[in-house]
Structure 1
Amino acid sequence: MRISARNQLKGTVVEVVKGATTAHVRIDVGGTVVTASITNAAVDELKLAVGQPAYAVIKASDVLVAID
């Protein structure tokens, strides 16, 4: 895989929950779970399944910090 995004977190798919049009894919990255919302079509195209290695690729223009 070649991609310009620098934030690539390798992990394992632990859950795929499909909704009407969008799926939530949970990836365990070293004990921390990252959740992505992607289309059901993307889940099917990537053939995502629990236990499969996958990358959470994060490309954001802003990072916000908040406190209570």
Structure 2
Amino acid sequence: MSIKSINVRNQFRGTIKEIIEGPVVSEVDVATPAGIVTSVITTRSVKELDLKPGREVIAFVKSTEVSIATL
């Protein structure tokens, strides 16, 4: 499969570090040059995409809001 175009500007190439699989949803940790990106997706999607630690992926981040707090 190749991605021809997608409307998500924040893309992080990385490698799956860990998958914490639950009965309905799973956490997928992706190691990127910028750090770890964690995605919560359905366990069904994890299986359909055949996600496994060590597999190279692209994490797409799309958000309608970014909050900022002072330190």
Residue 34 (structure 1) aligned to one of 34, 37, 40? 37
Corresponding residue SS for 1:49: coil
Alignment counterpart, residue 19 of structure 2, candidates 2, 10, 16: 16
| Distance in 1, Cα, partners of 2:68 & 2:34 | 22
Identity of aligned residues (%): 32
Supply the distance in 1 between the matched residues of 2:6 and 2:69 (Cα, whole angstroms). 30
C-alpha separation in 2, matches of 1:4 and 1:31: 21
Map 1:1-68 → 2, pairs under 5 A: 1=3, 2-30=5-33, 32-68=35-71
Aligned residue pair count: 68
Q: TM-score, normalised by structure 1?
A: 0.92
RMSD: 1.1
What are the ranges of 5 or more consecutive residues in structure 1 without an aligned counterpart? none
TM-score (norm 2): 0.89
Distance in 2 (alpha carbons) for counterparts of 1:5 and 1:35: 17
After TM superposition, what 4+ stretches of structure 1 lie above 2 angstroms from structure 2? none
Once residues 66 and 17 of structure 2 are traced to their aligned partners in structure 1, the CA distance between those partners, rounded to angstroms, is: 26
